[in-house]
């Protein structure tokens, strides 16, 4: 029997930090991504998750420039917009890889809603910057007009900040599970999923927020009870003292060791921190392993020859 896995691909798999946000660039990068992953999926039933931060940001900039002609859309709808767009590009890239290799596998994308708690502390302290930069005057006007929270961002201007609540559940989980078990490469929880709340009458309502994609991926991996959770990032392994002369690669660490390293400040909140936190959550809940590695090394990591393994105590 094939093992089940959730693989979270990093932002560079779609668009590099210095690359133009064009369809051609995304197609080129995703062809490379699907090429590496197609080599690693023979013995796995896989769910693929991905980020959408740059794409949502670009969409918000476009809507800001066109706001006098077409009213901007709420953030949850823009999340859905980019989930569908990226899902299409990822699925097409994998389908073309399978055709090229003569493989019978299929791929599908699901626009996914992720439940958050309306009482989550994040709603009282929005911290996630989204969208374009504004002048101080422009930011104050938007704060008055739309009730947005605006904060100065590293001397570059003012940006809207939104909550980043913890993910609690995935609305489409049963459908995702069925597709995975049927061997369909399933692309889902894009950008952390569309944040929604369950209302008192049981209905679902979107909320303007951003869910961390690694946290949502970890949640989905736990819900699906997969055998392996893989987080792809820009480096082959996790490092202590990263970027310093004393940096040291980690081949394997227990949950307790990972927590200690986090407390010592080795994994910053803005980079490796959420990935380590997400790995710990999965391993503690399932007593299975999480692998953190680069796209280029994913096949070797799945064979135990590369990457950093987070394992139970």
The residues annotated as belonging to the active site are: 11-12, 128, 213, 275
DSSP string covering 121-169: GGGGS--EEEEEEE-HHHHHHHHHHH--EEEE-TTS-EEEEE--PPP-E
Residue 240, both tokens: 């202590």
Q: What Cα–Cα distance (Å) separates residue 61 from each residue in 11, 158, 313?
A: 19, 13, 46
- Here the contacts of 302-305 (C-beta below 8 Å, separation 24 or greater) are 302/40, 302/44, 302/228, 302/230
Contacts of 209 (CB under 8 A, 6+ apart): 75, 76, 116, 122, 123, 128, 162, 163, 164, 165, 195
Nearest Cα to 48, choosing from 216, 169, 166?
A: 216
What are residue 239's phi and psi, to 5 degrees?
A: -125, 145
Alpha helices in the chain (DSSP H): 23-38, 53-65, 75-101, 136-146, 173-181, 213-224, 255-263, 273-286, 298-302
Reported as half-sphere exposure (CB side, CA atoms, 13 A), residue 235 has a value of 15
d(CA 151, CA 154): 10
Counting Cβ atoms within 10 Å, is residue 259 exposed (0-12), middle (13-18) or buried (19+)? middle
Which H or E run includes 239? Answer: strand 238-240
């Amino acid at each position: 029997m094939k093992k089940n896995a959730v693989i979270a691909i990093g932002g560079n798999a779609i668009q590099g930090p210095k690359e133009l946000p064009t369809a051609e660039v995304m197609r080129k990068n995703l062809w490379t991504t699907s090429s590496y992953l197609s080599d690693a999926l023979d013995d796995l039933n896989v769910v693929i998750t991905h980020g959408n931060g740059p794409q949502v940001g670009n969409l918000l900039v476009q809507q800001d420039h066109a706001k006098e002609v077409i009213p901007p859309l709420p953030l949850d709808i823009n999340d859905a917009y980019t989930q569908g767009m990226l899902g299409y590009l990822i699925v097409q890239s994998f389908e073309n890889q399978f055709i090229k290799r003569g493989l019978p596998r299929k791929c599908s994308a699901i626009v996914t809603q992720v439940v958050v708690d309306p009482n989550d502390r994040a709603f009282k302290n929005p911290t996630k910057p989204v969208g374009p930069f504004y002048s101080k005057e422009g930011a104050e006007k938007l704060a008055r007009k739309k009730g947005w929270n605006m904060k100065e961002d590293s001397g570059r201007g003012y940006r809207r900040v939104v909550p980043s609540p913890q993910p609690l559940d995935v609305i489409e989980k049963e459908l995702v599970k069925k597709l995975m078990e049927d061997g369909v490469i399933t692309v889902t929880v894009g950008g952390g999923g569309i944040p929604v709340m369950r209302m008192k009458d049981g209905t679902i309502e979107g909320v303007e927020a951003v869910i961390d994609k690694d946290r949502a991926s970890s949640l989905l991996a736990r819900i699906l009870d997969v055998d392996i959770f893989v987080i792809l990032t820009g480096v082959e392994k996790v490092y202590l003292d990263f970027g310093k002369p004393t940096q040291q690669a980690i081949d394997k660490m227990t949950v307790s060791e990972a927590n200690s390293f986090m407390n010592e400040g080795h994994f910053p909140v803005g980079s490796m921190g959420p990935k380590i936190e997400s790995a710990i959550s999965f391993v503690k809940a399932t007593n299975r392993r999480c692998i953190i590695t680069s796209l280029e090394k994913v096949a070797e990591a799945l064979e135990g020859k590369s990457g950093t393994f987070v394992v139970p105590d």
